[in-house]
Structure 1
Amino acid sequence: MSRLSNAATTMLLGSVLALPALAAPNPISVHVLDQQTGLPAQGMQVELESVQGDGWARISQGRTNADGRIATLYPAGQALQPGRYRITFQTGDWYTARAASTFYPKVEVVIDADGSLPHYHVPLLLSPYGYSTYRGS
């Protein structure tokens, strides 16, 4: 009987430990790639704002990781509130830190997240004199 209990306990513990992997992803994430070098844009400051009244209110900020990503830009543990969001990539500061210049000191991307999707991913492909963005997956 104790062998069966140990097996059941092991299975239950394994299932509980796997739960975070099954949890819903953060509602908003970003990924920045430097098209000039072909590398991720590590260390870029990014802010997330939402419409509040007649203006914008910052709700989160972060810095891209070694892979150029911020997987959890929306406040952790909160459900996405449908609405308009502005994502500001601080490209000028990022280029300055690399002794380079850019025509775009910041890139602001405004999105409408209506809540029909569980996750909104916003990639930014960047070069000193141009950029492109799209709704990722």
Structure 2
Amino acid sequence: MPGYLTTHVLDTARGTPAQGMEIVLYRLENGGRTELARLVTNADGRTDSQILPEADFTTGSYELEFHAGAWMDATGVAPESPRFLDVIPIRFGMSQDDHYHVPLLISPFGYSTYRGS
């Protein structure tokens, strides 16, 4: 099976998908990073397409950047200055041609992630 990457963002404070959050994918190489994709979550908290589709998949080191602060501002989460969580970077490796799913569970003061399916 060719590899690909997906994500899903859930608002654990409200118990709903996190619609409208911008996510940026970077490939990490030689101490730098290259932007590969920039997507926004849909009503289900997922992106409309794979973040890294099969045709572009390569094993290696990556970073997903979740723009949580701007999303909280846009969805009416009580403002604070500065926000405790703003941009959340998650660095991870993909070592096999497989489906990698990196979800984000978020609230205004915490988040967690894992390798999903």
Relative CO higher for 1 or 2, CA cutoff 8 Å, sep ≥ 6?
2
Conservation of the 8 A alpha-carbon contact between 1:27 and 1:118: yes
Conservation of the 8 A alpha-carbon contact between 1:47 and 1:87: yes
Amino acid at match of 1:128: P
Deviation of 1:53 after TM superposition, in Å, equals 2.6
Aligned to 2:105: 125
Specify the structure having the higher radius of gyration (Cα). Answer: 1
Change (3 A) 1:96 1:26: farther
2:89 corresponds to which of 103, 108, 126: 108
**Rounded Cα–Cα distance in structure 2 between residues aligned with 1:119 and 1:29:** 8
Report matched runs for 1:1-137 at 5 Å: 27-70=4-47, 71-74=49-52, 76=53, 78-100=55-77, 101=79, 102-115=83-96, 117-137=97-117
**Rounded Cα–Cα distance in structure 1 between residues aligned with 2:95 and 2:54:** 19
Deviating beyond 3 angstroms after TM superposition, the runs of 4 or more aligned structure 1 residues are none
Deviation of 1:54 after TM superposition, in Å, equals 2.1
Larger fraction in strand? 2
Conservation of the 8 A alpha-carbon contact between 1:47 and 1:61: yes
Count of residue pairs the alignment pairs up:
112
Gaps of 5+ in 1: 1-23
Q: Any idea what SS the aligned residue of 1:73 has?
A: coil
Report the RMSD for the aligned CA atoms in angstroms. 1.7
Conservation of the 8 A alpha-carbon contact between 1:31 and 1:122: yes
Conservation of the 8 A alpha-carbon contact between 1:26 and 1:72: no
Question: CA offsets per residue over residues 25-59 of structure 1, 9 Å max, x none?
Answer: 87010000001110000010000000133211100
Q: Give TM-score, length-normalised by structure 2.
A: 0.87
Change (3 A) 1:83 1:33: same
